[in-house]
Amino acid sequence: MSDLTLLGAAETAAVVAGGDVSAREVATAHLDRIEQTDEVVHAFLHVDRDLTLTQADAVDQARADGSPLGPLAGVPLALKDVFTMKGAPTTCGSKILQGWRPPYDATVVERLSAGGVVVLGKTNMDEFAMGSSTENSAYGVTRNPWNLSRIPGGSSGGSSAAVAARQAPLAIGTDTGGSIRQPAAVTGIVGVKPTYGGVSRYGLVAFSSSLDQGGPLARSVLDAALLHEVMAGHDPKDATSINAPVPPVVAAARGELGGVEGMKVGVVSQLQGEGYQPGVQARFDETVALLTSLGAEVVEVSCPSFEYALPAYYLISPSECSSNLARFDGMRYGLRDGDNGENGVEQVMAITRATGFGPEVKRRIMLGTYALSAGYYDAYYGQAQKVRTLIRRDFEAAYAKVDVLVSPTTPTVAFPIGERADDPIAMYKADLATLPSSLYGGPAMSLPAGLGDDNLPVGVQLMAAVQRDEQVYRVGAALETALEERWGGPLLDQIPELVLGAST
What is the per-residue burial (b if ≥16 Cβ within 10 Å, else e) of 107-142?
bbbbbbbebbbbbbbbbbbbbbbbbbbbbbbbbebb
Nearest to 499 by CA among 40, 169, 167, 157: 40
Q: Count CB-CB contacts under 10 A for residue 472.
A: 33
CB 81 within 8 A of CB 174: no
> d(Cα 491, Cα 483) in Å, to the nearest integer?
9
Active site residue 80: yes
CA dihedral 114, 116, 121, 122 (to 10 degrees): -40
CA distances from 108 to 46, 114, 233, 240, 476 (A): 18, 10, 10, 15, 24
Phi, psi dihedrals of residue 261, rounded to the nearest 5° = -60, 125
Phi, psi dihedrals of residue 178, rounded to the nearest 5° = 140, 10
First to last CA, the chain: 33
44-47: strand order across its sheet:
44-47, 118-123, 76-80, 170-174, 214-218, 190-193, 444-451, 457-463, 404-408, 264-268, 297-301
> d(Cα 66, Cα 175) in Å, to the nearest integer?
38
Active site residue 293: no
CB 168 within 8 A of CB 78: yes
| Set 22, 133, 137, 155: catalytic member | 155
Kind and range of the H or E run holding 63: helix 49-64
| 65: Cβ contacts below 8 Å, ≥ 6 apart | none
| 485: Cβ contacts below 8 Å, ≥ 6 apart | none
Beta strands in 100-146 (DSSP E): 118-123
Kind and range of the H or E run holding 323: helix 309-324
| 311: Cβ contacts below 8 Å, ≥ 6 apart | 384, 387
Active site residue 429: no
| Set 179, 305, 438, 446: catalytic member | 179
| Set 80, 95, 122, 193: catalytic member | 80
**Residues carrying an active site annotation:** 80, 155, 179
